[in-house]
């Protein structure tokens, strides 16, 4: 049955100001894609609430009219999670950008979902605290989106992803009910529904107030940049460092393609242009601990084949070494306005094998692939570059992305580490999980949203979105017909 959008919009205007409702198509086009950009669809209507009460009223109205909804923060997601694929209301949280409370005595801060990631640290850095999760898009991505996708960042090796730093959530459920998940403490006795909500990609409701854990700034920080003549040597250095018991705050690798792109972006050689790979390692903690760890890392990298190792100890020096890594996606964007990024995870020991496979697949599909990744936890970000010059190109790009994810699964990895499943990888979810696994996940989703109004069609594969099951499950042939249900997902 088609939705009565005119009646629905009329009810919304009873409690929302006119400036909070976007209905003109030329204005709605702003929201027809996310950071992935390969798929586009304009929503029929969008709203911009500013408070929990407004979100509650909006979702109550959706429930009364049986109108589905999709939540969207800054739109920087990379799995299509914030796209409106069918007629649904787009709920934008970008105006919900207040810091509600700062409690330094208990090392926590409460923010609305539209608060930008980097604003959290900015609010408390003068008092010796910071917020650890730091996606590369941290200057533009929102905390609400980070919660929805369980975002990571370059420091997730030591400090974990978003779920490790969210103490509590105020959530509006799909029927408009407001509830609280978690108690604002590190430990609590009830079922961890807070953990269930984080990473649910907008399918369980909308978080309207988020209590985050703050950390003390480390006494000392050093960054090392080692360059290698082969990617295998860089990968071997990673395994040597972690095997030695050193736990860096972050370990990142970029290949030569990415190095060239970054150098071109800045107009100078920020990184050695002839290196096959560079390895960035950040160490933090007590001064004596950091000094000892740095010497160990330098020794291990040298023995692994590092040609040169640069050290950065001052904030300016450290920022300069990290600047290229943080600008990697922008650098590729300058070379190719269109690119498609994947998000597979592999055990560290398999990095050389999988990277060789990615290179082989790039040649097979005749598409260039640049690599930048969180080496410490094996979270790969291959960027597939393409020109939108033929009707078949997008399908070809997606097929290459799928082939890369299959390689990740073959070595015991995962199809996503921090970007989420969304619409982009939903057709691959049953490569990892059995039918019983998926049914159980769906039951959890239905317990929050029995009407299926929250972000419909996302995460789970369906015949409508992915083709008939028989055709989709043909992908299991190379796994001996077995489901990969016992993988370490994150």
Q: Which residues pair with 374 in a beta bridge?
A: 252, 379
Question: Residue 17: its pLDDT value, please?
Answer: 97
Asked if pLDDT for residue 189 goes beyond 90, the answer is no
90-139 per-position pLDDT tens digit: 999 999 999 999 999 999 999 999 999 999 999 999 999 999 999 989 99
Question: Residue 3: its pLDDT value, please?
Answer: 81
61 and 107 assigned to the same domain: no
216-262 per-position pLDDT tens digit: 999 999 999 999 999 999 999 999 999 999 999 999 999 999 999 99
Asked if pLDDT for residue 30 goes beyond 80, the answer is yes
- Summarize the confidence of residues 396-402 as an average pLDDT: 96
Q: How far apart are CA 398 and CA 412, in angstroms?
A: 21
Please indicate, yes or no, if residue 438 is contained in any of the structural domains.
no
Question: Residue 349: its pLDDT value, please?
Answer: 87
| Contact in structure between 470 and 84 (CB atoms under 8 Å) | no
40-73 per-position pLDDT tens digit: 999 999 999 999 999 999 999 999 999 999 999 9
259-304 per-position pLDDT tens digit: 999 999 999 999 999 999 999 999 999 999 999 999 999 999 999 9
* Domain span holding position 45: 5-92
Please indicate, yes or no, if residue 396 is contained in any of the structural domains.
no
Confidence of residue 38 (pLDDT cuts 50, 70, 90): confident
Tell me which of 268, 301, 331 is where a domain ends.
331
- Summarize the confidence of residues 131-151 as an average pLDDT: 96
Q: How far apart are CA 217 and CA 75, in angstroms?
A: 30
Average pLDDT, the chain: 92
84 and 154 assigned to the same domain: no
160 Cβ contact partners less than 8 Å away, ≥ 6 residues apart: 132, 133
Q: Which residues pair with 273 in a beta bridge?
A: none
Asked if pLDDT for residue 490 goes beyond 70, the answer is no
Please indicate, yes or no, if residue 458 is contained in any of the structural domains.
no
- Walk across the sheet containing 108-111 and list its strands: 99-103, 108-111, 206-213, 166-172, 178-181
Q: How far apart are CA 482 and CA 263, in angstroms?
A: 44
192 and 285 assigned to the same domain: no
Q: 175 is written with which tokens?
A: 């029927």
Question: Residue 389: its pLDDT value, please?
Answer: 78
86 and 125 assigned to the same domain: no
Regarding predicted confidence, which is higher, 14 or 377? Answer: 14
Please indicate, yes or no, if residue 447 is contained in any of the structural domains.
no
At 394, give phi and psi (nearest 5°). Answer: -65, -40
Q: What is the CATH number of the domain that holds 53?
A: 3.30.43.10
Q: What is the CATH number of the domain that holds 108?
A: 3.30.465.10
Asked if pLDDT for residue 468 goes beyond 60, the answer is no
Q: 73 is written with which tokens?
A: 């923060």
111 and 212 assigned to the same domain: yes
Residue 19 burial (10 A CB sphere; 0-12, 13-18, 19+): exposed
Q: Concatenated DSSP letters for 451-471?
A: T--BSTT-SS--HHHH--HHH
Tell me which of 331, 360, 387 is where a domain ends.
331
Q: Which of 170-179, 288-297, 351-360 has the lowest mean pLDDT?
A: 351-360
Task: Reduce the DSSP state of residue 481 to 3 states and report it.
Answer: coil
Please indicate, yes or no, if residue 478 is contained in any of the structural domains.
no
Question: Residue 184: its pLDDT value, please?
Answer: 75
Percent of the chain at pLDDT > 70 equals 95
Asked if pLDDT for residue 377 goes beyond 50, the answer is yes
Q: How far apart are CA 213 and CA 157, in angstroms?
A: 17
Q: Concatenated DSSP letters for 199-233?
A: TSTTSS-EEEEEEEE-EEPPSEEEEEEEEESSHHH
Q: How far apart are CA 324 and CA 266, in angstroms?
A: 8
Number of structural domains (the chain) is: 3
Asked if pLDDT for residue 473 goes beyond 90, the answer is no
- Summarize the confidence of residues 431-450 as an average pLDDT: 96
Helices (H) and strands (E) in the chain, counts: 17, 18
> H/E element holding 255?
strand 250-255
Question: Residue 39: its pLDDT value, please?
Answer: 85
Asked if pLDDT for residue 474 goes beyond 60, the answer is no
Confidence of residue 484 (pLDDT cuts 50, 70, 90): very low
Question: Residue 479: its pLDDT value, please?
Answer: 40
**Which of 151, 191, 194, 155 lies closest to 171 in space, CA to CA?**
194
Q: What is the CATH number of the domain that holds 283?
A: 3.30.70.2190
254 and 167 assigned to the same domain: no
338-353 per-position pLDDT tens digit: 999 999 999 988 998 9
For the four alpha carbons of 386, 390, 396 and 398, in that order, the dihedral sign comes to positive
Q: 57 is written with which tokens?
A: 């009223």
- Summarize the confidence of residues 344-367 as an average pLDDT: 94
Confidence of residue 486 (pLDDT cuts 50, 70, 90): very low
Asked if pLDDT for residue 472 goes beyond 70, the answer is no
111 and 203 assigned to the same domain: yes
Asked if pLDDT for residue 475 goes beyond 60, the answer is no
77 and 114 assigned to the same domain: no
Question: Residue 480: its pLDDT value, please?
Answer: 41
Question: Residue 476: its pLDDT value, please?
Answer: 43
């Amino acid at each position: 049955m088609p939705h009565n959008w005119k009646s629905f919009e009329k009810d919304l205007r009873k409690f929302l100001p006119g400036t909070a409702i976007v209905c003109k198509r030329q204005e709605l086009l702003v929201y027809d894609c996310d950071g992935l950009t390969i798929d586009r669809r304009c929503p029929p209507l969008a709203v911009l609430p500013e408070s929990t009460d407004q979100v509650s009223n909006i979702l109550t109205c959706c429930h009364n009219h049986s109108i589905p909804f999709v939540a969207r923060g800054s739109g920087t997601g990379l799995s299509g999670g914030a796209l409106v694929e069918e007629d649904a209301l787009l709920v934008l949280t970008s105006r919900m950008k207040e810091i509600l409370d700062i409690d330094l005595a208990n090392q926590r801060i409460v923010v609305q979902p539209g608060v930008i990631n980097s604003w959290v640290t900015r609010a408390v850095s003068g008092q010796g605290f910071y917020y650890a999760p730091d996606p590369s898009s941290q200057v533009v991505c929102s905390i609400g989106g980070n919660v929805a996708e369980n975002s990571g960042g370059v420091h997730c090796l030591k400090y974990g992803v978003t779920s490790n730093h969210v103490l509590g959530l105020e959530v509006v459920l799909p029927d408009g009910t407001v509830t609280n998940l978690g108690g604002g403490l590190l430990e609590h006795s009830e079922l961890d529904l807070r953990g269930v909500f984080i990473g649910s990609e907008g399918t369980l409701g909308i978080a309207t107030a988020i209590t985050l854990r703050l950390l003390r700034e480390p006494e000392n920080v050093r960054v090392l940049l080692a360059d290698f003549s082969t990617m295998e040597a860089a990968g071997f250095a990673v395994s040597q460092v972690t095997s030695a018991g050193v736990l860096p705050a972050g370990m990142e690798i970029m290949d030569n393609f990415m190095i060239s792109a970054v150098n071109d972006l800045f107009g100078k050689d920020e990184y050695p242009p002839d290196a096959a790979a560079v390895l960035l390692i950040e160490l933090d903690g007590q001064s004596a601990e950091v000094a000892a760890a740095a010497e160990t890392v330098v020794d291990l990298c040298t023995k692994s084949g590092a040609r040169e190792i640069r050290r950065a100890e001052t904030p300016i020096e450290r920022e300069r070494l990290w600047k290229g890594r943080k600008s990697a996606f922008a650098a590729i964007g300058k070379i190719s306005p269109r690119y498609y990024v994947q998000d597979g995870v592999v055990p560290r020991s398999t990095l050389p094998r999988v990277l060789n496979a990615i290179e082989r697949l790039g040649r097979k599909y005749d598409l260039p692939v640049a690599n930048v990744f969180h080496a410490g936890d094996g979270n790969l970000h291959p960027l597939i570059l393409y020109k939108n010059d033929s009707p078949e190109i997008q399908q070809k790009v997606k097929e290459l992305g799928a082939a890369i994810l299959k390689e990740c699964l073959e070595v015991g990895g995962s199809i996503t580490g921090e970007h989420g499943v969304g619409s982009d990888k939903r057709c691959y979810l049953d490569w990892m999980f059995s039918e019983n696994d998926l049914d159980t996940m769906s039951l959890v989703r239905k317990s929050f949203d029995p009407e299926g109004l929250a972000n419909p069609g996302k995460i789970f594969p369906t015949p409508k979105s992915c083709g008939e099951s028989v055709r989709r499950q043909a992908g299991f042939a190379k796994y001996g017909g077995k489901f990969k249900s016992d993988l370490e997902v994150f």
